[in-house]
Structure 1
Amino acid sequence: MNIDSSAPVIVSEEVLVLSSPARVWALLTAIDQWPEWNPDITAAALKGPVAVGSTFQWATAGLAIVSTLGEVIPGKRLAWSGDTNGIFGIHVWTLEPADAKGESTRVRTAESWSGDAVQQAPAMMEGLLRSAITAWLGHLRSTAEQHGARTAA
């Protein structure tokens, strides 16, 4: 599953996390626990396993969203799509070990937005999405490093 490369809004970001890919994956896939470490998400509930076709309901920025998992490659890639209030989004997370020992992770994320609401104000929507993605990556990095950081040699 990939983002919609023709969407009017696309944001891609990446961050180096000083924690193992397994730890980062565990945080991303424990969807019910997102509000515990990401204050921008006020509710999240996965219906079923972390598997293609499972849905989850979540709330962020005052929006209630229902998303469907479209790709799950354990430890490496997680993607979903969903829509709310005239916005259709596709979000893809990719994890790669960033060192030979597997103690750090390169986290890449990309999201596309399309739909009537996006076409009416693409620049504003891109700013909103960029802020949300940047904050999410920051919360993810902080939480992963707090609980799974590399130990000093």
Structure 2
Amino acid sequence: MTEFDVDRSAPVIVRDEIRIDAAIAEVWRLHTDINGWTSWRDDVSVARLDGTFATGAVFHWETGGLSIDSTIRAVEPQHRTVWGGPAAGIEGRHVWTFFPDGDGTRVVTEESWAGPPVDADPEQARRLLAESIRVWLQSLAAAAQRVR
């Protein structure tokens, strides 16, 4: 497993994508402005990054009752990010890729979950992760399209 991809051996891997009617620069700005997440993500109660969005930086966020410390593993500006970290016994690895799509942006995201809570009920974990990712993508699209 490479730290620059999801954990391909994880029991749960979810992939989803969305086309957003906004320029890639705006979508990227929202995605990487972690301190601003709470302004457009109703499911995130806390989001804090001290410093810049860069490889090696750690950010803290809370969603669905989970407190998460994520480490940024890779950043390719306006194209790709990778971060991951533990939460409640789950090791998550999240990859985001951004592509120009006409006058909009296609966002592809994939996340893996591993750990005892996932092993105990992989189907429930898969449902929860898929729902979380879908809400995240829809919220990102709505926020990006509001400023258009």
Q: Which residue of 2 aligns with 1:111?
A: 111
2:94 pairs with 77, 91, 113, which one? 91
1:35 pairs with 25, 33, 38, which one? 38
Runs of 5+ consecutive residues of structure 1 not aligned to the other structure: 149-153
The one-letter code of the counterpart of 2:7 is D
Q: Which residue of 1 aligns with 2:124?
A: 124
Give aligned-pair identity as a percent: 41
**Displaced runs of 4 or more, over 2 A:** none
Contact kept in structure 2, 1:48 and 1:55, CA below 8 Å: no
Aligned length: 145
Q: Which residue of 1 aligns with 2:70?
A: 67
> Structure 1 length normalisation: TM-score?
0.93
CA distance in 1, matches of 2:52, 2:126: 31
SS of residue in 2 equivalent to 1:134: helix
Q: 1:47: Cα distance to partner?
A: 2.4
1:39-92 per-position Cα deviation (integer Å, ceiling 9, x unaligned): 011100002211100000000000000000001011001110111111000001
The one-letter code of the counterpart of 1:138 is Q
> Structure 2 length normalisation: TM-score?
0.96
Q: Which residue of 2 aligns with 1:151?
A: none
Which of 1 and 2 has greater Rg?
1
SS of residue in 1 equivalent to 2:147: helix
Cα RMSD for the two superposed structures: 0.6
SS of residue in 1 equivalent to 2:134: helix
Runs of 5+ consecutive residues of structure 2 not aligned to the other structure: none
